[in-house]
Structure 1
Amino acid sequence: MTASNTSTQSHSGGTTQPAPPTVPYVALWSGEREGPMPVVARRDGRGIRYADERSFDRDANGVLWSRAPSQPGRGTPQFGSVHSLRQRIAMAGLRCQICGGPADRTPDGVLWLIDARPGEILPDEEDTAHPPVCRPCAHRSTRVCPHLRGNHTALRVRTFFPSGVNGVLHVPAPNGPTIADSGPIAFGDARLPWVRAHQLIMRLADFAPIDLDDPRA
């Protein structure tokens, strides 16, 4: 990650710690533009594939993923746009979506930030395409991110598992597969072979809201 960092004074004394990066680990940069990704029907007619498909275009579950070179720092950051591979790495590897380091974890669970108020979160489960966070990045994000400021909930999550993907849904057509829709598709959905995935979705369960300002939480 080549985003610039600054140093911050610790509250406990003289040691300094690096501030969270100004550009999130999962953010797309202008120099990482996706190349052409034309899809064709699979030979069995039961989904889509790339005409020049390579082994790393699919994950272990056979899901077809968007292509983009991973060259963070090249060009300018495209805030609001997510790099597909780094999002998936952060989600599956429980890495902080901001700095790319390990997400914060205690005996009470992994730290996630949800862009919703506590009363807007389902009590039993929550689906999110946002990877977890470390504590320093969580504090900074709630101060500087417009969509989180005053509209977020920090959760300690004990149980979580991949539940689906965000992606582009195709349907068969006379001249080849055509785009029909975009959005979340659950694993096990019969339409999944027709999706070009862009983000991994995690289902959060057995969680509890916490106060980020409470050092014991």
Structure 2
Amino acid sequence: MSGHYTLVVGSDVPWVTSWSGEQIVGAAPCQTVGGRLALMQASDPGSGKPQYSKNHLVRQRLTVVRMLCPMCGQPTDQGDRWTQIATRRCAGQLRARGGQVRADIADDRVMIDAGSIAPLHRRCVDRSMKYCPHLRSSDDVMVMRFPREWLVLPLLVKSETNAGVAVAFLQLCGVTQTIDRRWRAQAALG
């Protein structure tokens, strides 16, 4: 026995993780963003070494658009959607940063900014918290249910091969039913 261990995508390595053998191939229309120009990446999970700190461009967008668990790659149900690292922000803060938040969402509505990380199944949250050294050592981890309503905001980059911009990743923001009274008071003052 050689002692060789093979990493299993969706179990040992998150499904959304990019691998060193998956090269970025440029920008092209992509179905993950309704045919808009997007950065594209070869898909060959397991090829090379996992790049734990980098999401695969297309798989990341698929996790957000289809509400797939970034750990196992399977669909999440409404009652089993959890986030681990998210920041509470008011819609007004997201707008100020250039986020295209719908006009019907008040500036003081609290948003759960999950960044580029789609909700996970609870079992996948527990597994990742047990085995991921980054998550275990982070002070930013706060496991919470993901809201029933959400927004998807494209994160754009300037295309080198085209005159326009391309979607790199999708940012996911859950919409809560609460408002931030402190933010409302600050906005009223000036």
C-alpha deviation, 1:161, in angstroms: 2.2
Q: What is residue 4 of structure 1 aligned with on the other side?
A: 8
Whole-Å Cα distance in 1 between the matches of residues 68 and 168 of structure 2?
A: 18
2: CA distance, partners of 1:66 / 1:24: 21
Q: Distance in 2 between matches of 1:64 and 1:142?
A: 35
**Whole-angstrom CA distance in 2 between matches of 1:167 and 1:22:** 30
Change (3 A) 1:153 1:76: same
Structure 1 residue runs without a partner (length 5+):
6-19, 38-49, 178-193, 209-217
Q: Is the 8 A contact 1:57 1:66 kept in 2?
A: no
What secondary structure does 2:48 align onto?
coil
For 1:114, give the aligned amino acid: I
Give the aligned residue type for 2:84.
L
Deviation at 1:3, TM superposition (A): 4.2
Alignment equivalent of 2:176, drawn from 197, 200, 206: 206
Correspondence for 2:100: none
TM-score, scaled relative to structure 2: 0.66
- Quick check: which one's helix share is greater? 2
Distance (Å, rounded) in 1 between the aligned partners of 2:171 and 2:65 = 10
User: Of 114, 125, 128, which aligns to 2:111?
Assistant: 125
CA root-mean-square deviation:
2.9
Q: Distance in 1 between matches of 2:140 and 2:14?
A: 19
Identify the residue that residue 153 of structure 1 maps to in structure 2. 142
Is the 8 Å Cα contact of residues 78 and 148 (structure 2) preserved in structure 1?
A: no
After TM superposition, the score normalised by the length of structure 1 is 0.58
| Aligned 1:1-217 pairs, distance under 5 A | 3-4=7-8, 21-35=11-25, 37=26, 53=28, 55-56=29-30, 59-60=33-34, 62-103=35-76, 105-106=78-79, 110-115=81-86, 121-122=88-89, 124-127=110-113, 128-149=115-136, 150-156=139-145, 157-162=147-152, 164-169=153-158, 194-206=164-176
CA offsets per residue over residues 85-125 of structure 1, 9 Å max, x none? 1111111111110111122532xx7322225xxxx623710
Give the 3 Å change call, closer, same or farther, for CA 3–166 of structure 1 in structure 2: farther
Counterparts of 1:95 and 1:72, CA distance in 2: 16
Whether the 8 Å CA contact 1:158–1:207 is kept in 2: the answer is: no
Aligned-pair identity (%)? 28
Q: How far apart are residue 206 of structure 1 and its match?
A: 1.7
Q: Secondary structure at the match of 2:176?
A: strand
Residue 126 of structure 1 aligns to which amino acid in structure 2?
I
CA distance in 2, matches of 1:207, 1:140: 29
The one-letter code sitting in structure 2 at the alignment partner of 1:195 is V
Corresponding residue pairs, total = 149
Report the structure number with the largest CA radius of gyration: 1
